[in-house]
Amino acid sequence: MKAYRLTVLIVDFDDLGRMQVQRTIELQRYPNHCISPEVLDIEEAEIGEWTDDHPLNHGGDVGPYFDAEEQA
């Protein structure tokens, strides 16, 4: 499973993929056009299998998933 870091963390339960996650955020119709998000940068990380015990399911630290050293 993958997760994407914009300003928020999106866990991709349905395997939408990077571009579809971005489009879903950008094309969402927000009430009264209260916000108009535009994704300027997106990072992708493999987060392993999802379980109820996964650290990201409990407000875990995202650092291990997005550290440059770990991705190398």
- Ordered per-residue pLDDT tens for the chain, 72 residues: 887 877 667 888 899 998 998 888 888 888 887 878 888 888 888 888 888 988 888 876 777 777 754 444
Determine the pLDDT at residue 60. Answer: 64
Helix, strand, coil abundance in the chain, percent, nearest 5: 35, 15, 50
Determine the pLDDT at residue 68. Answer: 54
Distance CA 21, CA 10 (A): 8
